[in-house]
Amino acid sequence: MSDDSRNTDPVRVQVVGRQFRHDGEEYHTGDELEVPEWVLDGYPGRIEPVAEPEPEPTAETEPDDGDGVDDDGADGEEGGEDEIVVDPDPSDLSVEELSERIADVDDVELLAAIQDAEEEGEDRTTAIDALEKRIAELEG
């Protein structure tokens, strides 16, 4: 193979042998560096490619967990800046605990979001009744 046909794309590698020299530098076991791809091919057992880290899941890449809930809270709409995060999930509370917590909530949109979360989760009639009653109190 001539020098003109060598693949010069950079590859991130880790030294797995005792030591490795490249471009006048000495590297030891565990060291990482970038080398042209043809260098990797020429030193099997001394250097190995480093796996690229998996990207952090985002709303665009996170797999659907099949629960029927849009986990980014945007209900499939673009730009979820106005989303309301319900924490804790009402399903994590007893109806009595939920009723106590919503008694101090004066935000109808938040109460509606809690109701949506309840309907998508446990869907308890008594919890939904308590939420609807509180919303009706606020809407007068």
Check residue 94 and give its pLDDT.
92
**Looking at the predicted structure, is the pLDDT value of residue 69 above 60?**
no
Instruction: Round to whole Å and give the CA distance between 116 and 120.
Output: 6
CA distance 88 to 95: 13
Q: Please provide the size of the chain in residues.
A: 140
What is the model's pTM? 0.43
Domain ranges for the chain: 9-49, 82-139
Question: Given phi > 0 = left and psi -120 to 50 = alpha, else beta, which region is 112?
Answer: alpha
Does the structure show a pLDDT above 90 at 136? yes
